[in-house]
A = this chain, B = another copy of it.
Amino acid sequence: MPFTTPFADRLNNVETSAIRELFKLLGKPGIISFAGGFPDSNMFDVDGIREAVNAALTDNPGATLQYGATEGHPPLREQLAQFMASKGARGVAANDLIVTTGSQQALDLLGKTLISPGDKVIVEGPTFLATIQCFRLYGAELITVPVDGEGAQTDRLEALIAEHKPKFVYLIPTFGNPSGALTSLARRQAILQMAVKHDTLIVEDDPYGDLYFGDAPPPSLLALADSVPGARERLVHCGSLSKVLSPGLRVGWMVAPAELLAKATMCKQFSDAHTSTFAQATAEQYLKAGRMPGTLARVRQVYAERARAMCQALRRELGDAIEFVEPQGGLFVWARLTGAGGKVSDGAVFAKKAIEQGVAFVPGAPFYATQPEHATLRLSFATAPIDKIEEGIARLGRAL
């Protein structure tokens, strides 16, 4: 008996991603995968999280297990404000943020709160795949601003803002997924200035900013906003504990102007009532215990070594058939096939050949909302140990 109820019209705007099909192949025995977008489970501070949840269940079991405020568990909001202050965003009070069920939910709430069908939203090309689909479900028409090694090209961005008058601009300025690009300080300042000049809302998604390998990156747009009068009222900042502490907690947060935060809170009430207080109280105890700096230092060191190993192996094994900017943080190498020596230059074709050789990555084209660059690919160095990285890249070389 078939299901006969018609689905909502908005589902016509999205499709199941091509990447999901690829992921089905990852179960093949012996595959080395650079395809994931997640941190290494072996890096999780299991003991620290165990202590945190036990402290939460001892100190205040009622609040840990009961319904909570839609805005978030108040002591976690305090801890998150302090965490952001430690990263340079000093003007953020607990009331300036709401807790979200991962930063994915912040994107969903922005869509629900702001996007009417037909509204334009500017995103980077390439950008996070789930952002593209999330905003399209609300009917957004996406416009792409190109990204280079210094992040979104701000001259192009300003022209696109002037032309399209978008509902908002969505950027991942620090080690973006998939580009890994780091937006320069000068471009960050230019973005904040154009937000004010054109009265345009900017959304800064920042799940990777903590994962830098050498010097700290330039301050977040949020941290810089106080130096540009009027910018703070035109800025949303999404943060996450998923890439450093644990994705399984599903704890993210969103800083936004008060009027927007109130509407997003109302929408969240009808989305999931509130984020798990069990997870929130655990995250709060973890931050309060002061374990985050040590965890961050450990994670940064391991990912830096893996990134370096992957880049060296890529140069050694693929030579001039591939080009990339060595990442200064995050989880990804974003690369482009040059076709040098008549070698394969399409990421999707290469991905199939790679699977045959026992190594997986994600082709880059799906990360573009418009005008895909088919020569691109995304390689995650986060989850494989160095010997597997070297073996995997050697297989890539054979696949080419």
Where the two chains meet, the residues of A that have a C-beta atom closer than 8 Å to any C-beta of B are 1-11, 14, 16, 38-39, 41-42, 44, 46, 49-50, 53-54, 57, 61-68, 101-102, 104-105, 107-108, 112-116, 119, 130, 133-134, 137-138, 167-168, 199, 201, 230, 233-234, 242, 246-250, 257-260, 263, 266-267, 269-279, 281-282
CA distance A225 to B240 in the complex (A): 42
CB distance from A184 to the nearest CB of B (A): 26
CA distance A275 to B116 in the complex (A): 27
Contact A114-B41, Cβ < 8 Å, known A104-B273, A248-B66: no
CA distance A5 to B167 in the complex (A): 7
Contacts of A44 in B (CB 8 A): 61-62, 65-66
Q: Is the CB of B46 within 8 A of A61?
A: yes
Q: Is the CB of A270 within 8 A of B130?
A: yes
Q: Is the CB of B201 within 8 A of A260?
A: no
CA distance A101 to B268 in the complex (A): 12
Contact A7-B263, Cβ < 8 Å, known A64-B248, A65-B247: yes
Contact A116-B260, Cβ < 8 Å, known A130-B269, A270-B134, A278-B279: no
Which 3 pairs from chain A and chain B are nearest by CB? A248-B277, A41-B62, A134-B270
From A259, which residue of chain B is reached at the shortest CB distance? B3
Residue of B41, B46, B267 touching A57 (CB-CB under 8 A):
B46
CB distance from A241 to the nearest CB of B (A): 11
CB distance from A15 to the nearest CB of B (A): 9
Q: Is the CB of B233 within 8 A of A3?
A: yes
Q: Is the CB of B53 within 8 A of A41?
A: no
Q: Is the CB of B65 within 8 A of A248?
A: yes
Q: Is the CB of A275 within 8 A of B250?
A: yes
